[in-house]
Amino acid sequence: MRMSQLFGQTLREAPSEAEIASHQLLLRAGFIRQLAAGIFSYLPLARRSLNKIENILREEMDRIGGQEMTMPVVHPAELWQETGRWYRIDAEMGRFKDRNNRDMVLAMTHEEVVADLVRREVRSYRQLPRLIYHIQTKFRDDPRPRAGLIRVREFTMKDSYSLDADWDGLDQQYRQHYQAYYNIFQRCGLPVIAVKSDVGMMGGQMAHEFMYLTPAGEDTLLICENCGYAANRQIARFQKPAAKDEPALPLEKVATPGAKTIEELANFLNIPREKTAKAVFVMATFPTNTTPGKPSTAPKLERFVFAIIRGDMDVNDTKLANALGATALRPATEEEIRAIGAVPGYASPIGLMGINQNTASTRPFVVVVDDLIPSSPNLVAGANLEGYHLRNVNFGRDYTAEITADIAAAGEGDACPNCAASMRTVRGVEVGNIFKLGTNFSDALGCTYTDPDGQEKPVIMGSYGIGSGRLLACVAEQHHDEYGLKWPITIAPYQVHLVALLGRSSSDTDILANQLYSDLVDAGIEVLFDDREESPGVKFNDADLIGIPLRLTVSERALKQGGVEVKRRDQAERQIILLTETITFVKTEIAKMEAEINSLVKTIPYPD
């Protein structure tokens, strides 16, 4: 491709809203342009890199038995109503009505469509196992798109779906994807780690996320360097410090004027924070109608939640939502808190309606306590009276709860749940995920097969996704310097950037450059040829910005030195090679760079 004909142009400066390096550089290098918040056009350079990423995805999926297909972007709402996700997913789902007033869905993912196909196509155990995949457009109306391609609303994803007759089969396909995903990221030059994660809207028994570690990431991960434990903070466990065993003491009201926060309370009473009980108030959303085929017209049910955790810890919203079975949480307002009789800053469950009864039927709220609370005696909690707290509050004696669960957020320095070593926190971007769905979707849509004994059994499913655009952005985030991008050879838009510098004898240089371009193309080498009438500085700056792995420069100076100047983008050295040896040299360098990437592909032990 001649740059004089290339659609798109480089920019000297990135728009002010581009905050992270990958977003800035992909814009400046002419790879992407933004159409709307979280919606991008991929220009020819980006499209070429994405094609290479998607071919790597295909190769690794085919290697483990995948069959490529294509499923629709638009789905009838009835499918999502049958599984209940129509009601559980909030505004993130793109909904619209067709001309016949039928509710339709813009694809967020394709479990429903796969399950519908399975119930139509699969009849016998002889048709299992199977693995199908496609590379298709998705839409999720994210309320906070950011960081360029890292967090978008419209994106392309490779999603694959395993279909098995038994749980051992699912486990095998899950493990195969685990290694295949490492192969994909290694072949793209992106270092990742796999961490356990929340199943979220997908449901199921288990999930792993593949994380690229970067300060630009929005996910917080807990890592144990000692034993290798790794988990997203959403579900990360930790060994909680045990409370000192002591007899339950009588309740005692104590004046605590102005002590509305845990820090203020601990300082006022001169006690450690772990001797306090923290009250957290949220409104939890629950679906009101999951009847198949009957759209819900009633508003979603919200219920007040009174969560209690020890004062030296924080509530993990994901853990709390999972414990409740809620689809969403939001902070309760002061008016909502006071409506149940609690006093903000001085609240506890003690003395509220029905709180001392063993049944929740009379309570207008749900009480959830962290699983450390029952073994933490004589805590200080609010008295539900302005300016007062209660000493020696004990769970079971003074109040009860509907739910006792681990709702604590793990943090820096907390003890690993496996080996008790201190964990560290890091930031990361999720570039892939795998889910053991089990029979969730099969049960909802009636996906069954007949086993060898003639018995009907549910098909066991797995779901596995990688976003190609986000992967492209993360590679750009990993491979760049102050001058621009530095693409790995496997996904670079072109292998060679040919630069022609026209001097006094420009006609000779131009003839040689054009002939070299033709020879390279004829040899099967991918070349971006800068044939523009620009200064050397502009051409070299653009070459560094675009980041193609190997640069060839045809100039009077290089020709006088005997040939063509060669420079790898990831190295500072330049050298002159004979014009007649250029093709052989370039092929050798490309093979060398490909071997460097391939050497990164290693078998990763599956974490049993």
How crowded is residue 356: how many other Cβ atoms within 10 Å of its Cβ?
13
Q: What is the pLDDT of residues 102-154, one digit of tens each?
A: 999 999 999 999 999 999 999 999 999 999 999 999 999 998 899 999 999 99
Q: What is the pLDDT of residues 498-552, one digit of tens each?
A: 999 976 556 778 889 999 999 999 999 999 999 998 999 999 999 999 999 999 9
Asked if residues 472 and 49 have their Cβ atoms less than 8 Å apart, the reply is yes
Residue of 195, 256, 185 lying closest to 228 (CA atoms)? 195
On the question of a cis peptide bond just before residue 417, with omega within 30 degrees of 0, the verdict is no
* 205 φ/ψ sector (left φ>0, alpha ψ -120 to 50, else beta): alpha
| Torsion sign across C-alpha atoms 350, 352, 357, 359 | negative
Alpha helices (runs of H) in 433-484, residue ranges in sequence order:
440-445, 468-478
Asked if residues 114 and 132 have their Cβ atoms less than 8 Å apart, the reply is yes
Q: Which residue has the tokens 């009438």?
A: 533
What 3-state DSSP class applies to 356?
A: coil
Please give the Cα distance from 271 to 259 (Å, whole number): 13
The full length of the chain comes to 608
Please give the Cα distance from 239 to 233 (Å, whole number): 14
Whether pLDDT at 556 is above 70: yes
Q: What is the pLDDT of residues 282-304, one digit of tens each?
A: 999 887 654 444 444 445 688 99
Tokens linked to 364 = 């207008």
* Of 296 and 95, more confident: 95
Tokens linked to 356 = 């001392």
Q: What is the pLDDT of residue 174?
A: 97
Alpha helices (runs of H) in 505-598, residue ranges in sequence order:
506-522, 536-546, 556-560, 582-598
- Identify the bridge partners of residue 310 per DSSP, sorted by sequence position: 277
How crowded is residue 561: how many other Cβ atoms within 10 Å of its Cβ?
12
Please give the Cα distance from 183 to 324 (Å, whole number): 38
Rg (CA), the chain: 30
Domains of the chain: 21-236+424-477 (3.30.930.10), 252-405 (3.90.960.10), 494-598 (3.40.50.800)
Q: What is the pLDDT of residue 296?
A: 46
| pTM for the predicted model, two decimal places | 0.89
